[in-house]
Every structure is written in structure tokens, then in C-alpha cells.
A and B are shown apart, each in its own frame.
Chain A
Amino acid sequence: MKDGLKIELGRRYRFSASHRLHSSKLSEEENRRVYGKCNNPYGHGHNYVVEVSVSGTVDPATGMIANLADLDGFVEREVTEPFDHKSLNEDVPAFRENVPTTENICKEIYQRLKHFPMAKLERVRVEETGNNTFEYAGEEL
């Protein structure tokens, strides 16, 4: 519809995972100082919420930007399945070297979802707890 209006669809997903914040570039003392209790060698976990925003043309036949079943399936395959009930450090290759802070989790999820074929990925918001939220919309051009 050429009315100058833009529509975005937002959808929330959840996964629970453990992580440990520890950088191989820092000494043991520095790691403890920088990451505090998140540096506990045994790790700890969170219930993460991932909010995915996509945009596109609303198909007049369906009234939809993208079929939710397609979006849900894509997010399930790319994010929920590989992240849920996992140790992010051990089980997700991207976090072998990269510290799994929520900033980095946000960017990793964005990279995994940006190829969604049915709509344009606008941004990814990740809540680590109800009080910590991170958002990534790709790099500014």
C-alpha cells in the first residue's frame, strides 16, 4: 500500500542457557575484576527473551508481512534449538572465542536471522533478565 506508512512485526521468543564470562585475552585476576560473579568457572544461567522485528510489504491476500509459522520455524531452527538448554560457551561455536555477553549474543542472533527470506530483519533485542536489555540493528552504513 503506497500510503507512506511502514509496518513492522515484532515477535518474542525464549530460551534458557548457561554461560561464563571469561576472556582469554585477560589474566585470571583481570577476568575476576571485570566480570565479577559472571566469571564463576562453573558458569550460571539465564532465561533469555529474544525480540525479533521484521518489516516488509503487507501481502493483501494474507494481511501479513510474513507468515508467523515461517518466522517461528526459522527462529526455532537458527536460534532456539541451538541455544535452548545449552552452555553457550561449550555448545555454540561462535562463543568458543567470543565472550557470550548479551551484546555478543545479540549480534550472533542478528547474523543468524538476517537471511530470513520472507521479510527484512530490522533488529534483535535480547533481555538477559527483566532489567538488562540489549539491542542490535546491524552496522550503520
Chain B
Amino acid sequence: MVYLTRKLEFSASHLYHNPALSAEENKRIFGKCNNPHGHGHNYTLEVTVAGEPDPVTGMVLDLKELKEILEREITQRMDHRFLNYEVAELKGQIPTCENIARVIWNLLEPKISKGRLHKVRLYETPDLYADCFRNGVHGA
């Protein structure tokens, strides 16, 4: 098995607020992420696909194809957007790194035509990231 990873960056704004909680609770739980005007990050996304290299092309999955999938599914949807208001898949969810990573997994998994999606790692800052993968599948 070979693991192929492609990286991309996008910039977006968000805020953390749960309407089911009081203003004080929101402030206490989410701290400065609760600022009603939002704030932003440069996100770095690492997408890992696992598979056997095709004997004819030597590729697990054509990088060009993966790049197009990422451009269409992630960059166009999330880059320079306000995640709370402009990304339908995040409606009703707090756009934390954990939740965005899961949304990205669900967007990408059905589009990977060769190999299988192995891991999604989303960095919100260089010191904070979330990993998403299938339960029981780990490594690399």
C-alpha cells in the first residue's frame, strides 16, 4: 500500500456560537472565537489517499485529478468564505477544526475514483489540527 498526500491552503472566516446556549455560556465556552463579527485563518489541508500504484501509469491516483477534485470541492466552496454563512454543509454546526475536517471527508470520499481516502488533516494554525479517518484504519 502506498499513501499519497496532497496539500492545499485556503483562507476563511468563522465564529463559534451555539444559539441554544446563553450569551454568557457562549462567551465562557468559546472565548474570543465567539466574537460576533467573526475572525479568520489560513487553513492548510492535507489529503491522503491509499492505494496500489497502477502498473501502467505508476500512479495511485492521478495527482492532476486529485488537484481538480480539491479545487472543485474544497477551494471553490471554502476559500475566502465565511464558513458559518456560506458553506451549506456546515449549517447548524459549529465550524471547529473537528467539524470542518469531517465535512471535508464527506465531500471528498465519494469523489476519489482510484485508491481510497485514507486521512484528512486540517490545520487551523501550525499548532492546531484535526485528523479524520475511518475507524480502525490508522497508520501513515
A interface, CB within 8 angstroms of B: 1, 3-13, 53, 58, 60-65, 67-69
Tell me, rounded to whole Å, the shortest Cβ–Cβ distance linking A95 to chain B: 26
Minimal Cβ-Cβ distance residue in B for A9: B130
> Residue of A at shortest CB range from B92?
A60
What's the A-B contact tally at a CB cutoff of 8 Å?
72
Residues in A whose Cβ lies below 8 Å from that of B16 = 62-63
Q: 10 additional contacts, CB 8 Å, given A64-B94, A69-B31?
A: A4-B134, A6-B132, A6-B133, A6-B134, A7-B131, A9-B129, A10-B131, A12-B126, A62-B30, A67-B29
B1 at the binding interface (Cβ < 8 Å): no
Secondary structure of the B side of the interface?
mixed
Query: What is the total number of residues of chain B having a CB less than 8 Å from a CB of chain A?
Result: 30
* CA A5 to CA B103, docked complex, whole Å: 11
B140 at the A/B interface (Cβ < 8 Å)? no
Query: In the assembled complex, how far is the CB of residue A73 from the closest CB belonging to chain B, in whole angstroms?
Result: 12
B residues sitting closer than 8 Å to A (CB atoms) are 16, 18, 20-21, 29-31, 93-99, 101-102, 105-106, 121, 126-136
Contact in complex: B98, A9 (CB < 8 Å): yes
Residues of A within 8 A of B129 (CB): 9-11
Cβ 8 A contact of B18, one of A58, A61, A68: A61
Which residue of chain A lies nearest to B125 when distances are taken between CB atoms in the complex?
Answer: A12
* Cβ-defined contact, A62 with B94, below 8 A: yes
Q: Which residue of B lies closest to A58 (CB)?
A: B98
B93 contacts A6, CB within 8 Å? no
Q: How far is the CA of A10 from the CA of B129 in the complex (A)?
A: 5
A62-B96, A68-B128 are known contacts. Are A6 and B29 too (CB-CB below 8 A)? no
